[in-house]
Amino acid sequence: MFRIIETYRSVPDRWAFVLAAIPSFILAAMAGIAGGFAGMYFYDRGNSKGDDVAVLTIGLLAVGTFTFVIVFSWLRALHHKISSRTPWFTWFFCLAGDLVITALLWPGGYPGELAHYMGFILAGWSAILLLGLVALLISQRLFTQEPDRTARST
């Protein structure tokens, strides 16, 4: 295992970025799908009420954002010391992707349909922001390397 980490550390920074992004995305997708199915089960116990796609999307985006921020920050910290900007960048990147997906799935049609799904959209974005913020705080606490502010300069 240490040999893999040492090989990863010797990779140039641009390639290390890609090597961190790919497994982070794969793990985030897998965790997001699991979170989406868990959310569907908790929402209606497996009985389709017709809102399964909305609940699946909420779980996918919220859990996927959480996982991507944690894993990407951890892999970047394995390569070199990272600042607190790395988890922030990762979270904002995920929020941009979540925004695009929300816009693509935005319900059209009659106004009653939009009113019905607005609760799902608000709940989804609340979950995305909450889990993203938790992931941001965990990543900053565990993986970032800030300068020592207690040392006096002479």
Q: What is the pLDDT of residues 119-144, one digit of tens each?
A: 888 888 999 999 999 999 998 888 88
**Residue 87 counted as domain residue:** yes
pLDDT of residue 46 exceeding 80, the answer is no
Whole-prediction pTM: 0.83
In this prediction, residue 129 carries a pLDDT of 94
Range of the domain at 136: 13-142
Distance CA(94)–CA(148), nearest Å, equals 30
Domain-located, residue 154: no
Do 88 and 136 form a contact (C-beta atoms < 8 A)? Answer: yes
Distance of CA 92 to the CA centre of its chain: 9
3 in any annotated domain: no
Q: How far apart are CA 77 and CA 109, in angstroms?
A: 46
DSSP string, 112-147: HHHHHHHHHHHHHHHHHHHHHHHHHHHHHHHTB---
* Overall domain count for the chain: 1
Instruction: Write the pLDDT tens digit of every residue in 19-40.
Output: 889 999 999 999 999 998 998 8
For residue 121, being part of any structural domain is answered with yes
List, in order, residues 6 or more apart from 33 with CB less than 8 Å away.
Answer: 60
* CA atoms within a 13 Å half-sphere pointing along the CA-CB vector of 34: 9
